Structure 1
Amino acid sequence: MESVMRRLPQVLAVSGTLLFVATSFSAAAPLNSMNEVGKALLACWNPPANSKGSSVTLIFSLKRDGTLIGPPRPTNISVAGDEQAKKHFLDEAVAALQHCTPLQFSPSIAQGIGGQVFAIQFASPKKDSLTPTN
């Protein structure tokens, strides 16, 4: 009984690690369509405060393993405010894209995705959802 008690912390640590690994793998199901890829990327987006009606379109390419090929580049920036506000909004959009990758693709998507150029628009709502309308 004493040897079991001494080994209990090791057994619990291994069990916890296996549970974590199993949970991580099941939570990240492979993406099967470009629509799912877009939704996965936008799920990482949290618009900066006070950026109502702003947007930025980024172009980027992905490798078959779901990582970015180089940094994303802006093609259209529509942000109210000064240059600092525009830079902050752009930086947040780039960070969201980088944070979301690598993505996990199904074999059919992975086969054709490598090196393709994609565009995605990160936007803020045009008005606060908490602001009452008249």
Structure 2
Amino acid sequence: MIKALAASLTVALALAACASPVQRTATGDIPASRVYIKSMTQQAAGLSQIEFTRVAGMLNNEMLELSINDVVLAQITGGEHLSIWLKPGSYDFSIKRVHTLTTAGPNSQDRLTVQVAQGGAYKVQITTELRGLNIQLVK
């Protein structure tokens, strides 16, 4: 029993050691390596800006996947932000936890639909609260 517990702890510590630290930028922008649809970060005429901000803090340190219309756009962690540029239309944004070897449990998700108008600018705030993930439009 004790040997099995010791072996389990050894494996858990070895797996935790494999986890790499989160790369960050001095400006708080999401690093380019975690932005998967880079073309959306380019400003152009006729497009509207959507700015995503992940609040910093104790509950906001885990990595989340930010998706647009069910396609992963980027991974975001506490204190980071990302601006994208979109044509007018309706877009569904969602967030969910990134599962790794050191995280487990159900993968809760939150969604937000935004009607993007020509020349508009939108701010979206992402938080982790005790009751789960939250993505909301900031007025």
Q: Fold-level match, TM-score > 0.5?
A: no
Higher relative helix content: 1
TM-score, L = length of structure 1? 0.31
